[in-house]
Structure 1
Amino acid sequence: MSTPTFPPLMQGVAVSGGEAPFDRARAMAAMGCDGGTVVHNVQADRLRAALVFAPEVALAEAMAMLPLCGVGFQNALGALAPPEVAVHLTWEGGIRVNGALCGQLQVAADTSDPALVPDWLVVGLDLVLLQTTEDPGETPDRTALYEEGCADVPAEQLLESWARHVMTWINRWESDGNGPLHAEWMGLVPGVGEAVTRAGISGIFLGVDERFGMLIRDDATTHLVPLTDVLEDEA
């Protein structure tokens, strides 16, 4: 297994066995590690990684890193996988490959106050490479990357590509704001115009606002569920 190579301003930290990169990254961030640290654990059936950010904007704005990392993943897999492989990103961070759930992005920060600038923010990636159940047909809504025509995509190469595309999008976000990211991401989000329930609100998923908050229309009004609703509990 090769050692992944990351772009300038990113540094890799490998963990092994059952250790979760997302948990290690949160602990390292709380101890003051540098932004750009990529904690990763590549196994035969699973690719997990987490990227530490050191935001300079309030949490409400910094939450854009979740959809940004999702778009970076879609771009990375799109560059390596056969052209017929379709990748979609759910609002809460799910990764769907050819219509079935294949992985998950998650996000945590040292604060849940949208008005505060976080000391750190971590986005984690957890991708299933191989199904380990005896009968994958029992869970048709779930899949694995290598079962969707991507068996020739090396996990380490996908990890490297994800990091490069994330860095490209960070640079674009810093220069151009949310607009280009919003346009790219909304083209990948399924379920717009369909019924949804989130944060105790049920209605039609209309799309998102400029900060990627979910807009839900019920019989009476349009509700906004901010993206901070998907934050993991503080460590």
Structure 2
Amino acid sequence: MSEDVSPTFPPLLHGVEVPAHVDAFAKAVTQAMVDAEPGRITFARDSGTMRAAICFVPDRVLRQALPGALFAVLLGLNDALGALAPPEVAVHFAWPNRVKVNGAYCGGLRAAAQYNDPDSEPDWLVIGVEVPVMPLDTRDPGHAPDETTLWEEGCVDLGAPQLIESWSRHMLVWINRFVSDGIAPLHEGWRHKCDTLGEEVSAPEAGTFMGIDEDGGMILRQDGETRVVPLTTMLEGTG
């Protein structure tokens, strides 16, 4: 896909383009506050970085809606990269919202909702995704070994518009699966792509990452005790 061509979207989804300098996630949140239109994807015309956000209108409480939306976005991105990237590119997830490519961090997700109360049913939920496609500067790629871009990992022919379009189509498959089959298949898909299960982690807190609960919360073992860090802690404040 040419960088001058905007992505096209599958039925039930439609795009709203913003200039490259505009924060697509913040714009999507503002749009949702005025008009919560499900399936609206706000995306930036930025060839160097994939920046997009989708508006959901949940039909369940936030603690149940968030994992379905978040995992659908992540798994859609994984499938898009699997279709477009070279076969040696490995994609993994780090709880709650980071994306890893070949072992290094490569973007992640943001989330905001009308209410941050886990037991409320918000009118809108926005999930944003940002993935660096091209290096942002000319420094040596090894200057930050735990961070990378798709270009540095061999995706030299992949542009942001192409990735946004493919992501939207694969994401819709996961959204439909969540609607028809519930959260279980999305949980399974996410766990399969997480490379820190059973290991010691330092973020968001130090402990052993034992798994996720039914609402996507991190089950963390600390000093012989087990606690859950709710997925809703990743929500950005809106009210």
Question: Shorter-chain-normalised TM-score: which range?
Answer: over 0.9
Q: CA deviation at 1:85?
A: 0.5
The alignment status of 1:88 with 2:92, answered yes or no, reads: yes
Q: CA deviation at 1:33?
A: 3.6
1:27-54 CA-to-partner distances (Å, cap 9, x unmatched) read 0000014110000013232110000001
For the residue of structure 2 that corresponds to 1:70, the secondary structure is helix
For the residue of structure 2 that corresponds to 1:43, the secondary structure is coil
CA contact (8 A) 2:133 2:159 kept: no
1:79 counterpart letter in structure 2:
A
What root-mean-square deviation, in Å, do the aligned CA atoms of Structure 1 and Structure 2 show?
1.3
Distance in 2 of aligned mates of 1:188 and 1:92: 12
Q: CA deviation at 1:202?
A: 3.0
- 2:231 corresponds in structure 1 to 227
What is the aligned-residue identity percentage?
44
- 2:147 corresponds in structure 1 to 142
The alignment status of 1:194 with 2:199, answered yes or no, reads: yes
Q: CA deviation at 1:198?
A: 4.9
1:72-101 CA-to-partner distances (Å, cap 9, x unmatched) read 100111011111100111112111111111
- 2:170 corresponds in structure 1 to 165
1:21 counterpart letter in structure 2:
A
Distance in 1 of aligned mates of 2:20 and 2:176: 33
The alignment status of 1:129 with 2:133, answered yes or no, reads: yes
For the residue of structure 2 that corresponds to 1:35, the secondary structure is coil
- 2:8 corresponds in structure 1 to 5
Q: Across the two proteins, how many residue pairs are aligned to each other?
A: 234
CA contact (8 A) 1:198 1:225 kept: no
Relative to the length of structure 1, the TM-score reads 0.95
| Over 2 Å off, 4+ runs | 196-199
- 1:103 corresponds in structure 2 to 107
Q: CA deviation at 1:154?
A: 2.9
- 1:210 corresponds in structure 2 to 214
Give the gaps of 5 or more residues in structure 1. none
1:142-164 CA-to-partner distances (Å, cap 9, x unmatched) read 11111111111232121111111
- 2:124 corresponds in structure 1 to 120
Q: CA deviation at 1:197?
A: 4.1
- Once the two structures are overlaid, the 10-residue window that deviates more, 60-69 or 150-159, is 150-159
Distance in 2 of aligned mates of 1:81 and 1:135: 22
Q: CA deviation at 1:233?
A: 1.5
Distance in 2 of aligned mates of 1:147 and 1:135: 11
CA contact (8 A) 2:18 2:43 kept: yes
User: Equivalent of 1:54, from 52, 57, 60?
Assistant: 57
Relative to the length of structure 2, the TM-score reads 0.94
Distance in 1 of aligned mates of 2:206 and 2:108: 23
For the residue of structure 2 that corresponds to 1:22, the secondary structure is helix
For the residue of structure 2 that corresponds to 1:222, the secondary structure is strand
- Once the two structures are overlaid, the 10-residue window that deviates more, 7-16 or 42-51, is 42-51
